Amino acid sequence: MFYGDWYEVLGISDAGYFLGAELINKFDDKYSIEDVARLEFNVIEKEVLRFLRDN
C-alpha cells in the first residue's frame, strides 16, 4: 500500500507513509475490512483526527 510519504502532517515532512501505516494498523484492530469500506466520511475524519491528536 502507498500512503504518500511526501505529505507534511502537523509540520513534519515525509511522515505520510509512517502515519498512514500506523493508522491502518489501528483501523485493523478496531474494524473488519468490510466495516472500513462502509465507514461514513465523518467517522473516518473523527478517527484520523483522534489518531493524530493521540499519537
**pLDDT tens across the length of the chain (55 residues):** 444 556 666 677 666 677 788 888 999 999 999 998 899 999 988 998 898 888 7
Question: Residue 32, Cβ neighbours under 10 Å: how many?
Answer: 10
* Report field, pTM of the whole predicted structure over 0.75: no
Which amino acid is located at 35 in the chain? D
> Residue 34: what pLDDT?
93
> Residue 23: what pLDDT?
87
Q: Which three cell numbers stand for residue 2?
A: 502507498
> Residue 6: what pLDDT?
61
Q: Which three cell numbers stand for residue 19?
A: 502515519
